[in-house]
């Protein structure tokens, strides 16, 4: 255990928490003192690359996901940041979204759950996603993982790149909306003026 920064009290506390949650299912894995010491050394080495906060987060996630003691590989996975921690949909959701929106991915009205989904679809090719070509799902998974890793490393991805036609359409829609708003206000103004004139005329006739 000398090679790990989590030797001693940290790894001992980790084993206490695992035993408290999983009871005999966990402790029975180490029927002798020698096996327990060897297991602690292996676990300490496996967890050496994580911070204490990541380790605590991993324990909490492990208890949520596993009703029985996890393998070392499963627990290490719990310590790693998850897609959901960064607002990223999981692979299946991302792939489904990319396929569903592949017919018009650059539309100004299209809303993407995360830029990584859009960029992965663009990299793989919208036509292949739209047609469900062979191997496209596997390619999308590989590319999406790359973009997710970039996001998790701190990179901020830009949104969809709108074409000139899409930008023109968006600008035209905004202009039409403003014009319609102005026309509605003018119409309301005229209606109010008409009602006021009608009211004044009625008052005059009544007095006469």
Please write the tens of the pLDDT for every residue from 42-53: 999 999 989 999
> How far is CA 127 from each of CA 13, 63, 94, 158, 159, rounded to the nearest angstrom?
53, 42, 16, 22, 20
- pLDDT tier at 6 (50, 70, 90 boundaries)? confident
Q: Which of the four pLDDT bands, split at 50, 70 and 90, describes residue 190?
A: low
b/e burial code for range 69-88 (CB count within 10 A of at least 16 → b)? bbeeeebbebbeeebeeeeb
79-91 pLDDT tens trace: 998 898 899 999 9
pLDDT (average), residues 100-119: 94
Q: Has residue 163 got a pLDDT over 70?
A: no
- Higher pLDDT residue, 5 or 149? 149
3-state helix, strand, coil in the chain (%, to 5): 70, 0, 30
Answer yes or no: is pLDDT of 180 > 80: no
CA 159 distance to own-chain centroid: 14
Per the model's pLDDT, the better-predicted residue between 68 and 2 turns out to be 68
* Between 174 and 153, residue with greater pLDDT: 153
183 vs 86: which has the higher pLDDT: 86
pLDDT of residue 120: 97
89, 114 contact by CB (below 8 A): yes
């Amino acid at each position: 255990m000398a090679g790990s920064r989590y030797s001693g009290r940290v790894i001992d506390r980790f084993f206490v928490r695992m035993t408290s949650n999983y009871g005999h299912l966990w402790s029975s894995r180490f029927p002798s003192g020698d096996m327990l010491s060897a297991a602690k050394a292996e676990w300490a080495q496996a967890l050496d690359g994580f911070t204490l906060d990541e380790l605590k987060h991993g324990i909490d996630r492990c208890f949520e996901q596993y009703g029985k003691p996890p393998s070392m590989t499963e627990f290490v996975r719990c310590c790693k940041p998850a897609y959901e921690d960064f607002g990223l949909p999981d692979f299946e959701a991302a792939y489904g979204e990319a396929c569903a929106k592949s017919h018009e991915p650059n539309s100004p009205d299209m809303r993407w759950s995360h830029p990584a989904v859009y960029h992965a679809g663009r990299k793989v090719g919208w036509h292949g996603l739209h047609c469900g070509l062979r191997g496209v799902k596997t390619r999308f998974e590989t590319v999406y993982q790359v973009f997710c890793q970039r996001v998790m490393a701190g990179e901020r991805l830009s949104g969809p790149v709108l074409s000139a036609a899409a930008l023109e359409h968006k600008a035209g829609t905004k202009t039409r909306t403003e014009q319609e708003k102005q026309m509605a206000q003018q119409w309301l103004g005229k209606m109010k003026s008409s009602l006021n004139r009608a009211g004044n005329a009625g008052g005059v006739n009544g007095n006469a």
